[in-house]
Amino acid sequence: MAINWFKYSSPASFYFLAGKMIPIFSVAAIILFAVGLYIGFFVAPTDFQQGEAYRIIFIHVPAAWMSMFLYVIMAMWSGIGLAFNTRLSSMVATAIAPTGAMFTFLALWTGALWGKPMWGAWWVWDARLTSELILLFLYIGFMSLQAAIDDPRRADKAGAMIALVGVVNIPIIYFSVKWWNTLHQGASVSVTQSPKMATTMLTGMLIMSIACWMYAIAVVLIRTRIIILERERHTAWVGELQGAGVAS
């Protein structure tokens, strides 16, 4: 059977596909957030060292992971858009940036609120914290640069350059706790070692992470659809959508 892999690379068909997928991801996000928070606050035990303050982990770690994942995905779609001149890829990259920036901000914010009671400081110029702050600036730089260029195709290309160059920061963030002596604790979960925390804590954190994924996918799809309509508003299919009154 021949599958047309390129069907959904057309903004018009992706618009309708995304419209069908948004409710699924939204419902999944709501359910998983509810389950994750329940486990985080009611099932997971008190930490023997950090007391209840450690419960910030259930939002801090997922936010920090998302900030890095979303950046890599944004850079990947930017790169594909740059290499193959596919409009939709660049639109997705543009749609990811605000959500990525939001998660980066949350990682820094919750980290500050966790750092104060544990380290005695809201902020230290530590390798992990500083590289995460640079990530926030990369997102803001990407968005500002795209907003400053009128021609969307040129904005895509310029943004792709920032996104691709900035990818170098991602391994720096990830390995910063190993490469430098930092105040920030090492990875709680890694591929090679068994997790260094109670199973229920880990479960809560993973469920919250999946919830953040679902949320990010839903909101990015909504934003992608908006960007598609904005950029394709002069095309026949958007005109027909308007005529039928179904552009919702």
Residues lying near other proteins in the complex (CB under 8 A) are found at: 41-42, 44-46, 51-53, 55-56, 59-60, 63, 98-99, 102, 105-106, 109-110, 113-114, 116-117, 215, 219, 222-223, 225-226, 229-230, 233, 238-239, 242-243, 247-248
Phi and psi at 51, nearest 5°, equal 65, -140
State the minimum distance, in angstroms, from the CB of residue 139 to other proteins.
Answer: 13
Return the closest-CA partner of residue 170 out of 98, 61, 72: 72
Beta bridge partners, 51, equal 47
Cβ closer to other proteins: 33 or 180? Answer: 33
Q: Rounded to an integer, what is the distance from CA 139 to the centroid of its chain?
A: 11
State the minimum distance, in angstroms, from the CB of residue 199 to other proteins.
Answer: 16
Cβ closer to other proteins: 7 or 233? Answer: 233
Task: Report DSSP state, residue 51.
Answer: B
| CA dihedral over 130, 169, 186, 44, signed as positive or negative | positive
| CA dihedral over 48, 53, 59, 65, signed as positive or negative | negative
Cβ closer to other proteins: 80 or 108? Answer: 108
State the minimum distance, in angstroms, from the CB of residue 228 to other proteins.
Answer: 10
Cβ closer to other proteins: 98 or 141? Answer: 98
